[in-house]
Amino acid sequence: MESRPVWRELGVITGYDWIISGGMDSLLATLQHQPVLVGSYWFEDMMTTGERGVITSACDPPLEDAGGHEYLANAILWPDNPRRRLIGFEQSWGEEPEDFAPTFYMGWDLVEHLVFGLAGDVAVPRLL
């Protein structure tokens, strides 16, 4: 039996919209109001989180693509130093891979490259 509520079946989510223009600015603006679902390539070098839960990746061939992955963006870390700007995520794997935190972070540049440079997507749930 499913232990988590199925939000669409309960009527909390009535549908989804996608961010198809506006790029990273649109993602950040939306994320300031609600969580969004991010879909992207997932590369082998992204299979472990760093010491503070941060994922880094070269994202370029000849890296092996481990497949696609959908994950929930739910936080923006916006310090004054642009190099330390991060987006927080919850992963959707039922069992976490070893050395992978269920909550993780990626730098804005990496998210922008994965989603808008490599044809990922951002789904915005329509909430009640």
pLDDT, one tens digit per residue, over 20-60 is 888 999 999 999 999 999 999 888 888 877 778 899 888 76
The answer to whether residue 100 is domain-embedded is yes
Q: How far apart are CA 46 and CA 37, in angstroms?
A: 18
The answer to whether residue 10 is domain-embedded is no
Q: Which contacts (CB < 8 Å, 24+ apart) does range 17-21 have?
A: 17/123, 17/124, 17/126, 18/121, 18/122, 18/123, 18/124, 19/121, 19/122, 19/124
What per-residue confidence (pLDDT) applies to 1? 40
The answer to whether residue 2 is domain-embedded is no
- For 104, the domain range is 19-127
Q: Is the dihedral of CA 87, 93, 95, 96 positive or negative?
A: negative
Q: How far apart are CA 21 and CA 18, in angstroms?
A: 9
What per-residue confidence (pLDDT) applies to 110? 94
The answer to whether residue 32 is domain-embedded is yes
User: What average pLDDT does the chain have?
Assistant: 84
Q: Higher-confidence residue: 113 or 2?
A: 113
The answer to whether residue 119 is domain-embedded is yes
Residue 85 pLDDT greater than 80, yes or no: yes
pLDDT tens-digit readout, 100-111: 667 899 999 999
Contact 27, 122 (CB under 8 A): yes
Domain count, the chain: 1
Q: What is the pTM of this model?
A: 0.83
Q: How far apart are CA 106 and CA 65, in angstroms?
A: 17
The answer to whether residue 38 is domain-embedded is yes
CATH number for position 115: 3.90.70.10
What per-residue confidence (pLDDT) applies to 44? 84
